[in-house]
Amino acid sequence: MWQHFDHMWTYDALMPKLKPKKSSPTHIAEVCFSCEQPRTLIVDKIHRLPNEGPPEEYTFVHCSSCARPAVFYREDMGDGFDKDSYYRIYPPQERHIGFYLPGNVRQSYEEAVSCELAKTWMACVVMVGRTLEAVCKEFESSSRTIFEGLRAMHSKGIISQELLDWANELRVMRSLGAHATNERIDVSDATDALDFLQAILEILYDLRPKFEKFKRRHEKTQPKSSRVLPAMGKAASS
Ligand SMILES: [Zn+2]
């Protein structure tokens, strides 16, 4: 099962031994994929590729409880590996956002994912709500509540009616998770909430900036008239 990492072992053998930095951890606290609980994971080896842009770090661990192995990945974006959070690459983690997110949004999102891995559903929806709150603060810094922030984002055209509806449901779910009500939050509620949150983040932070760039590129080469949508009912030529 290690063949996927063959190139890394080979590369490791050829590289001069890196002096272990004092900050190199001997164990990390992450959710074990096998125990499905937060565990102390013993570090067997840390392998760094300092010349990559950005420098990469691979941490080989095994669980202190069940002994199953895993590999975690971090990057050094200029302020040290410790500023990045661990992302599990073996066994592969299903949820991962590879595009830029503001620090507070990313931290809350990753906490929500950790709660999902640990099967703590109530905590998961609360962290989904916190991520949404961080998004609102990014776009509407004066908003005092998520509700106020979402409404302002909608009225400014930052989110569509559909996204507003999705986000509002997540806000309601977060309230249920955060307060001692009799409502139960189950696995479907939590995983669906994370799915909708991911879609919202993807539209706001990945697809929208990508589309703006795409549009600007094509505006330079195409006449404005060719970009007007054909009227309803008329046969479109293309
Ligand atoms: Zn374990």
- Does residue 228 fall inside a structural domain? no
For residue 60, report the distance from its CA to the centre of ligand 1, in Å.
14
- Of how many residues is the chain composed? 238
Domain count within the chain: 2
Residue 108 sits in the same domain as residue 183: yes
Residue 44 sits in the same domain as residue 86: yes
For residue 160, the domain's CATH number is 1.20.120.330
Residue 105 sits in the same domain as residue 180: yes
For residue 117, report the distance from its CA to the centre of ligand 1, in Å.
12
Residue 29 sits in the same domain as residue 127: no
For residue 77, report the distance from its CA to the centre of ligand 1, in Å.
30
For residue 64, report the distance from its CA to the centre of ligand 1, in Å.
7
Condensed to tens digits (0 to 9), the pLDDT of residues 47-61 reads 999 988 889 999 999
Domain that holds residue 30: 25-93
For residue 36, report the distance from its CA to the centre of ligand 1, in Å.
7
- Does residue 5 fall inside a structural domain? no
For residue 217, report the distance from its CA to the centre of ligand 1, in Å.
50
Condensed to tens digits (0 to 9), the pLDDT of residues 136-183 reads 999 988 888 888 899 999 999 889 999 999 988 888 888 887 887 777
One-letter amino acid of 195: D
Instruction: Give the 3-state DSSP-derived string for 86-98, with helices as H, strands as E and coil as C.
Output: CEEEECCCCCCCC
Encode 142-173: b = buried (16+ Cβ within 10 Å), e = exposed. ebeebeebbbbbbeeebbeeebbebbbebbeb
Q: CA quadruple 72, 78, 79, 80: dihedral positive or negative?
A: positive
Contact 166, 199 (CB under 8 A): yes
pTM metric for this prediction: 0.66
Task: Say whether pLDDT at 17 is over 60.
Answer: no
Helix (H/G/I), strand (E/B), else coil: 185: coil
Distance of CA 15 to the CA centre of its chain: 32
Contact 115, 103 (CB under 8 A): no
Q: Which tokens belong to 218?
A: 């094509």
